[in-house]
Structure 1
Amino acid sequence: MLIFKALKRDIEFRKKCMITLGILILIRIFCSIPTLGVNAEYFKTILQENTSLGFLNTLTGNGLSSLSVMALSITPYITASIMVQLLGICFPKIHEMQYSSMKDDRDKIEKATIILGFFLAFTEAIAMSAVFGKQGLLIKYTWYWVLIVALIWTAGASIASVLGKYITDNYIGNGISLILAMNIFSSYLSDSKSIYITLIEGKSDTGKILFGLGIFLFFLLLFALTVLLQESEKDISVIYSQKTGNGKNLTHDDVIPLKLCPGSVVPVIFTSTIMTMPVLFVTLTNKHENEFLKYLDTSYWFTSTTPKYTAGALIYVGLVFFFTFYYTDITMNPVEIADNLRKSAGIIPGIRPGKETTEFLKKERKYILAIGAFCLAFIALLPFVINGILGTSSSSLSFLGTSIIITVGVVHETMTILNSMTMNEKYIEKSEKEGLFRA
């Protein structure tokens, strides 16, 4: 409610919201522009044959299936972000720059990510247009058409990344996350149609109603679980004491919030992207007989005909746990928190300051993160399980859990930012009702 009042009252806030929305709409318009010289129906066949690539199509807002100028969208930037994050594990200097308190260091990492994303976009675009071009992607297969199409897709991916960074720096929310969420939102309509054709069409009228209601309730449950996951946290009580000038001790209570899912959408995006990349590479090289990669292909999971490949889901769960703990390790340091508590005369009731506080925070964090990572993996994998049980090959249903986690996470993050920006509206409303001063 305060957000709508702020839109009406605050011209600058309204301007930022409108420009942010305008940029997102502009990107969606680009996604509807077809690429010159390509067979627009070509990639739809590949996506039907390999449901694992459906995740990439979802991230591009169906730009990949329609082969628009935004066929790659922000996926190269996401891949570049993963590579930079992993480099931070190997090289401490990069890790320090990623989470430095100095803006210049963080800007350097961001610029490096965008540049790396550009080179990845060009590499992917060249590979796709050259390899798939021979198989029917290009209407006319010549070296210059391969280059033209690759440059168009590279430009589209670069524009999306730069505009995302521009939104983050100047307007509202995380631009890359907003573009990603907008892409996923735009695919919901076509995904719903695909799910209807796969699961409901052909049934009796009563069956359609019952099955449709069941699917709707299932989606609603997934959304509710995801919202609960994003909102849940455990508060650790802290007591601060301070001596006054007359020798008395003043105390006040506070909390250290431990979020159930501090990484928000990062673990599932990174995990799904890493799982999809080898499958895309095999598709590019046209070597479909690779046995190991069937474990990464989600279309083989939880099926009665190929049960052994369900072991690939364990790799998925392991990666979700890894990125959940890794992301939290670099954003929440128990040693640093314990040291800050000691310096500010704060204690956790029943826990000694210093090393004991550090160990307590590590233990609590490990417990909370394990639950959060398990819940993330459960929501992401549940549609895969249902897909396998029903014996369908709908990528729209398979990646529904991942899509919901991403959209709910981005909406939650953006609403938090909007609420913080409209705090002034709360005080204005209070002053109008009660006056600036109360007796």
Structure 2
Amino acid sequence: MKNFIETIKNIWSIEELRNRILTTLGLLLIFRIGSYVVIPGVNSDVLASTSSASGGGIADLLSMFTGGAFSRASIFALGIMPYISASIIMQLAGIAIPPIQKMQKEGESGRKKLNQYTRFLTIIICVLQAPSYIFTTIDPAARPQSAFWLTTAVILLTTGCLFVMWLGERITDKGIGNGISLLIMIGIISSLPFAFFQELVARVDNGGLVIFIVEIVALLLVIAMTIMIIQGTRKIPVQYARKMAGGGTRAVSGARQYIPLKVNSSGVMPIIFAQAIMFVPLYIAQATGTQSGILVELANFGGFWYNLLFATMIILFTYFYTAIMVNPTQMADDMKRNGGFIPGVKPGKSTADYLDNMLSKLTLPGSIFLAFIAILPAIAMLFGVKQQFSIFFGGTSLLIMVGVVLDTLQQIESHLLSRHYDGLMKTGKIAGKNPAFGMAS
């Protein structure tokens, strides 16, 4: 405890880190305040009564991702999901459209162009999605019926999404952690206390306090496994050739280093992207007024087809993002250029093939485990856990919360270690080595 307090003092003593943390907290506070600002003209009392009568399903999940703004008809009701959907489209377009592929390879200038195109696409998605949200989510009795109000509401919802996007970018640039992920996480956490106490009261009333304790223990075990899979790495040994020192008079033996290949190299982005796509059937079903069929099945949070498609997309997105984030060919070329080699493997193409094969072996179990964690809420609901609490029992919410917290802690850790302070953990490293498996946990 003493070391932890000392670490907090060290964090506060670093002016840059202190300013970044305060900036992040301030921008997150603005996001939370904005989620309670209702679209002008909407009757909050009527909306609350109709929402409570028709709540449930994946709509509750979408409301959780926006910090409740979706169900409150807030100016931030669309949240950050349109921007994420636009990012998905741009990433997929980079595979098939040569000009976008070229921009992806142009470095910083290409990244700025892609970001600008993503913002324009976000506006288009918002303009298309906002009317659907208004007509299908806000009860006619709770809103004006004029065309002027509809136009202003669409403009407000679009502007609200763009403002949330700007907040996320400001957090990433001027704050600490990934801004987009933090905004999603803060929306998720905001509903955790209510869901926790609702589950507790329900269990106590039914004489099932022991069952509630079992649920909490199981949840802690899931969190521990999630941390292991997110932090897990496989260290590939790399030997560097001998170098001449002292003006070429003596040879210095090459150092032995390691390439840490993560079990989950893509982080939480596959889960966020897959979840964004899973909201599409809900939007279409609402827009068309569909009450049955495949769209309704895919919008059923606890349904078989929803969870099957969700798990499949997580696995595919994990491979997709791993291929984007990790380039074995470039790693092999850099290693060869610096005189390094993997013992027993020829430099060049053989090394690239070896790294690619090792990465595939790591990504497969990692992606399957992520998919399993993502569908745990549906399994928990089968055992009688209420939906509001089951969302935190594994699932997208848990994966995002754990991943974002670990990523933010690692950034704080980097600031501390770069100034020769002890890190947040006793070892100075968030990820420790598990000698039995050669993995960090």
Note whether the superposition's TM-score is higher than 0.5.
Answer: yes
**1:35 matched residue in structure 2:** 39
**1:388 matched residue in structure 2:** 382
- What secondary structure, in the 3-state scheme, does the structure 2 residue paired with 1:66 have? coil
CA distance in 2, matches of 1:33, 1:311: 36
CA distance in 2, matches of 1:428, 1:255: 23
CA distance in 2, matches of 1:347, 1:111: 40
User: Where in structure 2 are the equivalents of 1:189-268 lying within 5 Å?
Assistant: 189-196=193-200, 200=203, 202-204=205-207, 207=208, 209-244=209-244, 245-246=248-249, 248=251, 250-268=253-271
**2:79 matched residue in structure 1:** 73
1:275 aligns with 2:278: yes
Moved segments of 4+, more than 6 Å: none
Q: CA deviation at 1:72?
A: 1.4
- The AA in structure 2 aligned to 1:281 is I
- What secondary structure, in the 3-state scheme, does the structure 2 residue paired with 1:172 have? coil
Q: CA deviation at 1:295?
A: 4.2
- The AA in structure 2 aligned to 1:123 is L
- The AA in structure 2 aligned to 1:122 is V
RMSD value, Cα: 2.3
CA distance in 2, matches of 1:366, 1:295: 32
1:118 aligns with 2:123: yes
Q: CA deviation at 1:76?
A: 1.3
**1:364 matched residue in structure 2:** 358
**1:296 matched residue in structure 2:** 298
- What secondary structure, in the 3-state scheme, does the structure 2 residue paired with 1:364 have? helix
- Is the alpha carbon distance of 1:385 and 1:238 closer, same or farther for their aligned partners in structure 2, counting shifts above 3 Å? same
1:161 aligns with 2:161: no
Greater displacement, 105-114 / 223-232: 105-114
Show structure 2 runs of 5+ residues with no match: 424-441
- Counting matched residue pairs gives 411
CA distance in 2, matches of 1:127, 1:353: 56
1:54 aligns with 2:60: yes
Structure 1, residues 112-168: CA drift from partner, whole Å, max 9, x if none? 2222222222221122224555x5364322212222222222222111101111221
CA distance in 1, matches of 2:27, 2:260: 34
Check the 8 A contact 1:132/1:284 in 2, yes or no.
Answer: no
- Is the alpha carbon distance of 1:132 and 1:27 closer, same or farther for their aligned partners in structure 2, counting shifts above 3 Å? closer
Structure 1, residues 356-414: CA drift from partner, whole Å, max 9, x if none? 21111111100100011011011111221121343x77254146421010011111111
Check the 8 A contact 2:47/2:142 in 1, yes or no.
Answer: no
CA distance in 2, matches of 1:407, 1:418: 17
**1:377 matched residue in structure 2:** 371
Show structure 1 runs of 5+ residues with no match: 302-309, 430-439
- What secondary structure, in the 3-state scheme, does the structure 1 residue paired with 2:241 have? strand
- What secondary structure, in the 3-state scheme, does the structure 1 residue paired with 2:55 have? helix
> Quick one: which of 20, 26, 29 aligns to 1:25?
29
Please report the TM-score for the alignment, with normalisation by the length of structure 2. Answer: 0.86
User: Where in structure 2 are the equivalents of 1:122-161 lying within 5 Å?
Assistant: 122-132=127-137, 135-136=139-140, 138-161=142-165
Check the 8 A contact 1:275/1:296 in 2, yes or no.
Answer: yes
- Is the alpha carbon distance of 1:397 and 1:300 closer, same or farther for their aligned partners in structure 2, counting shifts above 3 Å? closer
Q: CA deviation at 1:169?
A: 1.9
CA distance in 2, matches of 1:320, 1:79: 15
Check the 8 A contact 1:60/1:180 in 2, yes or no.
Answer: yes
- The AA in structure 1 aligned to 2:67 is G
Greater displacement, 420-429 / 377-386: 420-429
- Is the alpha carbon distance of 1:178 and 1:398 closer, same or farther for their aligned partners in structure 2, counting shifts above 3 Å? closer
Check the 8 A contact 2:82/2:122 in 1, yes or no.
Answer: yes
- Is the alpha carbon distance of 1:283 and 1:269 closer, same or farther for their aligned partners in structure 2, counting shifts above 3 Å? same
Check the 8 A contact 2:312/2:371 in 1, yes or no.
Answer: no
Structure 1, residues 240-291: CA drift from partner, whole Å, max 9, x if none? 11330136352101111110111111111111221221122112211122x2
Greater displacement, 291-300 / 225-234: 291-300
1:5 aligns with 2:12: no
CA distance in 2, matches of 1:138, 1:216: 39
**2:89 matched residue in structure 1:** 83
- The AA in structure 2 aligned to 1:15 is N
Q: CA deviation at 1:239?
A: 0.3
Check the 8 A contact 1:242/1:250 in 2, yes or no.
Answer: yes
Q: What is the aligned-residue identity percentage?
A: 29
**2:433 matched residue in structure 1:** none
**1:16 matched residue in structure 2:** 20
Please report the TM-score for the alignment, with normalisation by the length of structure 1. Answer: 0.87
Q: CA deviation at 1:236?
A: 0.4
